[in-house]
Structure 1
Amino acid sequence: MTQSHAMIINGERVEAAGTFGVIDPARAEFFADCPAASPEHLDAAVAAARKAFPTWRDTVIEERARLLNEIANAVEADKDALAVLLSTEQGKPRASAHGEIGAAIHWMRETAKLRPPVEVIRDDEKNRIEVHRKPLGVVGSITPWNHPVLIATWHVMPALMAGNCVVIKPSSYTPLSTLRLVELANVHLPRGVLNSVTGEGGIGRAITGHPGIDKIVFTGSTPTGRNIMSNAADTLKRLTLELGGNDAAIVLPDADIDAIAPVIFAKSFGNSGQTCAALKRLYVHESLHDALAEKIAVLARAAKVGPASDPASQFGPLQNKAQFDLVRALADDARANGGRFLAGGEASDEAGYFFPLTVVTEVTDGMRIVDEEQFGPILPIVRYSDVDDAIARANASENGLGGSIWSTDIKKAEALARRLECGTAWVNDHSSISPAAPFGGAKQSGIGVEFGHWGLEEYMQMQTVHITR
């Protein structure tokens, strides 16, 4: 690509003396250079955000909402070029890239409808007590490589709607589509309200410890989340952390496997399994295990895995070599421990980080393929006989992002879903989310929530006002 990529600081395009390469995962080759921010760039971005904050804070919320809708319009107008950029750096097929951008536009418009409440606790002849919510100041956003446009939208838009200014650092694996999103937004926003810096590990650590940043919002791995908490402790930054998940699904013996097989397939392998809340461990009652596993395997074997440039591709490569190597290691470990592969299991020799959609049975808890988050196109299917035991095994994880129960008995399934130790539980579905419903993790899958008024309030400071008449 010949497109020039730059950071946006105080409304201006900013390049850097140093750069780093961005890889096309379908070819495992560099295709673009991205500016590498210096500490001085970060300081300038934070200073611009702090300078812009008082005016943006005092801008009426209806005007902020109008600008969010203008940004949505700009992204929609640019969606074809943005989809090409997104699919090239992330690896997902063009249709999936368009789907991500469409979801981002939808989230922008829905976020623009949110309004923080003013609650009245007491109102009598002597006193009135009100609870207000005010913006925090400057938000530092650190986004991952699996959904670089959508997750940037989840971070940035509620922060702006709440009246904060933002400095965003996208993943160094997929910085370019996020840079373009920020550039499009800055056509409509006042200078300094939304700034971008790009770089590798060091700049992220500098953001989480920067004294001019009031809150960090991060989506990524649990180990990185722990490091962010530690680094942010000195300044007591507010935190929203959406971290790792190893989501379990339990199929009850009365489930309709013809109906649920394609849904489970889609919820396991969407984005080549590279989604935090993807279905990653499937517990199936022994009476249905073999038949359901085969139905899912048939779908996996028929799937077209290929580069985004091929219109026939339904699933792309792993985004980076480290993730490719992990998925391959998990498959090899499962094979060495007696796992039976009904589909996939072996990477091809073609260029790029391609791994076939993989279904493996004869695995159980205590094996890496079940205990670790794969974050790739590989689904372990575990046989069980007792539902209470399956619930206990699903809960025996340090993670608790999501979980699901699959059954034709909705009342029973709902009761079991509430026993799952996770932030979101589904019945006969998995990983579906809504801009109106809170989403966040239990246990070591995160702190705080996103979406709806609950997510908006994560970007605001509560203030109680006592009025004596």
Structure 2
Amino acid sequence: MTMTNSMLINGIQVTGDGEAFSVINPATEDAICQCNMASVDQLDQAVAAARAAYPAWRDTPDAERSRLLHQIADRLEANADELARIIVQEQGKPLALAQMEVGAAAGWTRYNADLEIPEQVFEDSDSKRVIGHRKPLGVVASITPWNWPLMIAIWHIMPALRTGNTVICKPSGMTPLNTLRLVEIMNEVLPAGVINSVLGEAEIGSAISGHADINKVIFTGSTPTGQRILVNSATTLKRLTLELGGNDAAIVLPGSDVDAIAEGLFNSAFINMGQTCAALKRLYVHESQYEAVCQKLATLAEQQVVGNGLDDTTTFGPVQNANQYRQVIELVDDARNQGARILCGGSPSADKGYFYPPTIVADVCNGTRLVDEEQFGPVLPVIAYQDVEQAIALANDCSVGLGGSVWGSDTEQAGQIARQLECGTAWINNHAEVLPHIPFGGCKLSGVGVEFGLEGLLEYTQLQVINAPK
């Protein structure tokens, strides 16, 4: 398979003028492609192209923009196998999960294509009519992470285009290849300059967040990087959507049917090898069922087949990159040194590749690094509690608040407890489910703004009020 390593600016393939870097396959640690970062001058060229394309795209009839997004979804489906295999090679996830990512990306595109913004009528009296309508912002910059590289790019790009904005897309340098290919595919449908891609790390990210001709930045990634974007954007007061770190807690209520919920707990914690912002990352279980839940989760973990995502038998891929791999090892070793029980896993593979088995860690508590810090990998700490009030307090004892969940047979009780969790989304007998029509965002240090649904779409627009006498 030939990997696209070129950026695309104003419809033209461009090689970056900046530093060369290798894209590494985490299953083999081998370089699969060489790319070059953009220079700041090339970023300026991309912004200028998006700015020049903006008036015509803004004025494109709404139905035509909808049609073109559906056409992009058609192209995603036509190239699904290629995109999925690129994802596996640069991100590591099993092929079936990568195929799901591509399918969801096409579905999310179609959902956005069909979204409509209703006119708001604030007053319609004998004397006046006051209405609100939504205008696009201008140029939107998308900065995406390495865990769901195609899916999150779609989340950022499609509502921006749907509402009449033009886009600059900067993927993670860890996983740039499928996003570069995505932008190529989109340029088969869209006018030149409507969507552009650039590569780079801190220098380009900083230039994006401070750029006077970029009207909005949407970023998914770590809280420290989000904070830097917020500071850099202050002089231009550009709009921001920041979906930042999470350390999601789940509470299993006393009397829960362990057999009924165990698989849901496991899948919520280990989706994408635990490398998901809203994955379940801290599990609080009542002491009466603590050992039963721990052992059931360990059994499920031991059934996983860890390996290269392109192997048919693999159910569990590698950690995506060396830094995250070392972080996972360090957090588990720290917990072990403090007396934690490692019920399964707990040691990196001796083979080449960033392989770390799904690991269940018992007998830990708040104050342990593995509990307090977002592990963002294939490890789940399980913490015992004595009463529900204690569990709520422990779950909320955290500086971030992306998601949370409550698990139990009494869904009314679970709902009452869920409302006490300090997080943007609280699930009941579920976790980490995101849907295109349901707004999603965090509180505390987990971000600013929301994505998805009409509320998410409106974040790409400016409200203008028209106040007219009759």
Alignment of 1:171-182 (within 5 A): 171-182=172-183
Partner of 1:267: 268
TM-score (norm 2): 0.99
Kept after mapping to 2: 8 A contact 1:272/1:318: yes
Contact between 1:342 and 1:361, CA under 8 Å: does it hold in 2? yes
Local SS of the residue matching 1:408: coil
Counterpart residue number, 1:250: 251
CA distance in 1, matches of 2:323, 2:3: 27
Q: Distance in 2 between matches of 1:35 and 1:325?
A: 26
Which residue identity lines up with residue 264 of structure 1 in the other structure?
Answer: L
- Range moving further from structure 2, 144-153 or 348-357: 348-357
2:363–2:382 contact (8 Å) kept in structure 1: yes
Aligned counterpart, 2:33: 32
- Pair 1:9-2:9 in alignment: yes
Distance 1:294 1:4 in 2: 45
Kept after mapping to 2: 8 A contact 1:34/1:176: no
Aligned residue in 1 for 2:95: 94
Residues 1:362 and 2:349 are matched in the alignment: no
Instruction: Report 1:390-405 matches (<5 A).
Output: 390-405=391-406
Determine the C-alpha separation between the residues in 2 that align with 1:162 and 1:374.
36
After superposition, give the CA deviation of every residue in 1:236-290 in whole Å (9 maximum; x if it has no partner): 1100000000000000012111010011111100100000000000000001110
Distance (whole Å) between structure 2 residues aligned to residue 96 and residue 400 of structure 1: 26
Gaps of 5+ in 2: none
Distance 1:125 1:414 in 2: 46
- Mapped partners of 1:75, 1:309: distance in 2: 20
Counterpart of 1:219 in structure 2 is 220
For 1:18-57, list aligned pairs within 5 A: 18=18, 19-57=20-58
The equivalent of 1:204 in structure 2 is: 205
What does 1:83-232 align with in structure 2 at a 5 Å threshold? 83-232=84-233
Comparing 175-184 with 110-119, greater Cα deviation is found at 110-119
CA displacement, residues 401-448 of structure 1 (integer Å, 9 cap, x when unaligned): 000000100111011101100000000000111100000001110000
Is 1:241 matched with 2:236? no
Query: Which residue of structure 2 lines up, in the alignment, with residue 462 of structure 1?
Result: 463
Aligned equivalents of 1:122, 1:212: Cα separation in 2:
35
Partner of 2:337: 336
Range with greater deviation from structure 2 (306-315 or 172-181): 306-315
> Structure 1: which 4+ aligned runs deviate by more than 4 Å?
none
SS in 2 for 1:163: coil
**What is the distance in 2 between the residues matched to 1:4 and 1:83?**
14
Call closer, same or farther: CA 1:4–1:219 in 2, change over 3 Å: closer
Q: 1:242 is aligned with what amino acid? A: E
CA distance in 2, matches of 1:16, 1:332: 40
Q: 2-side partners of 1:454 and 1:281: how far apart?
A: 29
Distance 1:293 1:29 in 2: 36
Q: Secondary structure at the match of 2:280?
A: coil
The code of the aligned residue for 2:44 comes to: D
Q: Tell me how far apart the structure 2 counterparts of residues 94 and 283 of structure 1 sit (CA, whole Å).
A: 32
Matched, 1:323 2:304: no
- Tell me by how many angstroms 1:16 deviates: 2.7
Instruction: Indicate conservation of the 8 Å contact 1:20/1:199, yes or no.
Output: no
CA displacement at 1:150 relative to structure 2: 0.1
Name the SS of the counterpart of 2:159 in structure 1.
helix
Query: What secondary structure does 1:121 align onto?
Result: strand
Deviation at 1:335, TM superposition (A): 0.1
CA distance in 1, matches of 2:219, 2:201: 15
Tell me the distance in 2 between the aligned counterparts of 1:249 and 1:356.
Answer: 22
Report what 2:349 is aligned to: 348
Report sequence identity in percent: 56
SS of equivalent residue, structure 1 residue 129? strand
Contact 1:358/1:377 (8 A) holds in 2: yes
CA RMSD of aligned residues (A): 0.9
> Aligned-pair distance for 1:29?
2.0
- The letter of the residue matching 1:305 is V
Distance 1:111 1:267 in 2: 26
CA positional deviation for 1:201: 2.0
Q: Which runs of 5+ in 1 are unaligned?
A: none
SS for the counterpart of 2:383 is: strand
Secondary structure of the structure 1 residue equivalent to 2:233 = helix
Matched with 1:287 is: 288
Contact 2:4 2:177 in 1 (8 A): no
For the 8 Å contact 2:4–2:180, the answer to whether it is kept is no
SS at match of 2:226: helix
Counterpart Cα distance in 2 of 1:134 and 1:4: 34
Q: Which amino acid aligns with 1:153?
A: I
Local SS of the residue matching 2:117: coil
Relative to structure 2, which stretch is displaced further, 330-339 or 300-309? 300-309
Deviation (angstroms), 1:2 = 4.1
What amino acid maps onto 2:362 in structure 1? Answer: T
Q: Specify the SS of the correspondent of 1:262.
A: helix
Q: Measure, in 1, the Cα distance between the counterparts of 2:116 and 2:144.
A: 25
Q: Which residue of 2 aligns with 1:308?
A: 309
Deviation, structure 1 residue 17:
4.0
What is residue 430 of structure 2 aligned with on the other side?
429
Residues 45-75 of structure 1: CA distance to partner in whole angstroms, max 9, x if unpaired? Answer: 1001001111111111111111111000001
- Whichever residue aligns with residue 400 of structure 1, its letter is G
The answer to which of 258-267 and 18-27 deviates more is 18-27
SS at 2:114's partner residue?
coil
1: distance between equivalents of 2:288 and 2:189? 58
AA partner of residue 424 (structure 1)? T
| Residue identity opposite 2:3 in structure 1 | Q
